[in-house]
Amino acid sequence: MLTIKLIAIDTSIFGRVAADYFGYEKVRKKNAESFLTSMTNQGLVPFFFWHHLEEILQHSDDTTVQNRFALIKKIPLVAWLKTVNHDGWIGSIIDIQGAEIKYLLGDPTIKYENLIRNVKKDLVYYTSGEEFTERFEYPLLLLRDYNFFKTQKKKAISSISHVRDPEIDNTKLSILNESRLKQPSEAKESLNNLKGKLEEEIQNRGDKKLKNASKYIQQFVSEVAQDGMKFYEMDSSSLYERFVKSHGVDIDEIDEDFTIGDLGYLAANKSRLRIIAESFGLDFKRIIKISQDSIPSLVILTELDKLIRMEKYASGSNITDKYLAVLSFYVDILVVDKRLKEYFKQVIRRHQNLSLVINNIISLSSYEKLENELNGLI
């Protein structure tokens, strides 16, 4: 009896298969056909979730998008992630995290293996490739026609966050006990300096495909200024306390060995958990009592983000790459690029409880090498 294995294929690799399958070069077309046949014969079932489709729909060429959906239609059996709240639609990273948290609220000590098995049982759904495309293609193409899948904002977010000053990130919060709040005129000068520094850094290290960077930088600096005004409206507590509270973090959640970067990750994850609580009707006060290390997807997202920030250049695709990496828990085979595979190795060395995904990850330079790579998993 053939054992079914879920495989999440990197969008660029899947795109090459589609290009060859519907292309005019006979040898490449035959290779693509053989690839699909080989997957079926080996019991490999392609797995999709929202972020796969998002990447497909962001492509600027209509024919390329249509060919990728047409390729899915050719596949006898596919798997996809359901949403938690809306039956019949395709799920995203939020659904995975919401399901993980739901089980952790029921049993905070649940083992990773049991947690993942339960989430997978709840969220993974199977259909034919034809049914999948009939269900999703038309509404998604309609959204694309209305420019729903814009890439520039993602590139801007990635670029601005990528050029953060590592020296500031590594500064301990305790330095604020010896600091004072700047006067408004000083703050204005600092904001102008920040704007100039961002423009320079993004030109050198931002996503090379980002257009109109100045617009996004101005929006970001304006938001920083608005948030900064809150410091002048707070009570007379220390600057240290005001700074921590302004990030939505309670004083008892940190200590003075925390760095500004540590605070940033804690604040960002709390915001993510708040969104999940609101989306799924969960008690946020209970959620924040869960150890963040016990939420598999959150650990992967945070640790990969730290490594990606060390890269020379920003890329909007890094946001999606981190989301796709979470699938390492929920598929049998996750196809990534060499860079991400190496990052996984580094993360797993630091978090042994993630070692259960070590045999799920492969990198491919071309889809024709899939069979060889399956015999040499990390």
Structure tokens that stand for 315 in this block: 């890329």
- Domain identity same for 10 and 78: yes
> Among the three residues 247, 264, 287, which one is the final residue of a domain in this structure?
287
Mean pLDDT of 236-248: 84
Q: 238 pLDDT band (50/70/90 cuts)?
A: confident
In this prediction, residue 196 carries a pLDDT of: 94
378 Cβ neighbours under 8 A, 6+ residues apart = 341, 344, 345, 358, 359, 361, 362
- Domain identity same for 330 and 273: no
Q: 298 lies in a domain?
A: no
In this prediction, residue 162 carries a pLDDT of: 93
Domain boundaries, position 240: 153-287
Burial class (CB in 10 A: 0-12, 13-18, 19+), 89: middle
Mean pLDDT of 228-256: 82
Q: CA separation (Å) from 312 to 103, 159, 167, 202?
A: 38, 11, 16, 11
In this prediction, residue 373 carries a pLDDT of: 80
- Domain identity same for 133 and 170: no
In this prediction, residue 377 carries a pLDDT of: 55
Give one word for 86, left, alpha or beta, with left for phi > 0 and alpha for psi -120 to 50. beta
The pLDDT tens digits of the residues spanning 63-87 come to 999 999 999 999 999 999 999 877 7
Q: 274 lies in a domain?
A: yes
The pLDDT tens digits of the residues spanning 127-175 come to 999 999 999 999 999 999 998 888 898 999 999 999 988 888 999 998 8
Mean pLDDT of 201-222: 94
Query: Can you tell me the distance from the alpha carbon of 254 to that of 70, in angstroms, rounded to the nearest whole number?
Result: 51
In this prediction, residue 1 carries a pLDDT of: 61
Q: CA separation (Å) from 199 to 212, 215, 216, 217, 271?
A: 11, 10, 10, 7, 27
In this prediction, residue 228 carries a pLDDT of: 81
Domain count, the chain: 2
Closest CA to 374 of 5, 94, 108: 5
Mean pLDDT of 195-220: 94
- Domain identity same for 118 and 157: no
Q: 183 pLDDT band (50/70/90 cuts)?
A: confident
- Domain identity same for 87 and 204: no
- Domain identity same for 107 and 229: no
The pLDDT tens digits of the residues spanning 340-376 come to 999 999 999 999 888 888 889 999 888 988 877 877 5
Partners of residue 7 on adjacent β-strands: 46, 333
Mean pLDDT over the full length of the chain: 91
Q: 83 lies in a domain?
A: yes
Q: CA separation (Å) from 54 to 19, 151, 259, 266?
A: 18, 10, 35, 27
Structure tokens that stand for 276 in this block: 């999940």
The pLDDT tens digits of the residues spanning 105-118 come to 999 999 999 999 99
H-helix segments, the chain: 11-21, 26-41, 50-57, 62-74, 93-106, 112-123, 129-145, 152-162, 166-169, 184-205, 213-233, 239-246, 260-280, 284-287, 296-308, 317-325, 338-350, 370-374
Q: 98 lies in a domain?
A: yes
Q: 297 lies in a domain?
A: no
In this prediction, residue 96 carries a pLDDT of: 97
- Domain identity same for 123 and 35: yes
- Domain identity same for 120 and 17: yes
- Domain identity same for 243 and 341: no
Tell which wins on pLDDT, 200 or 181: 200
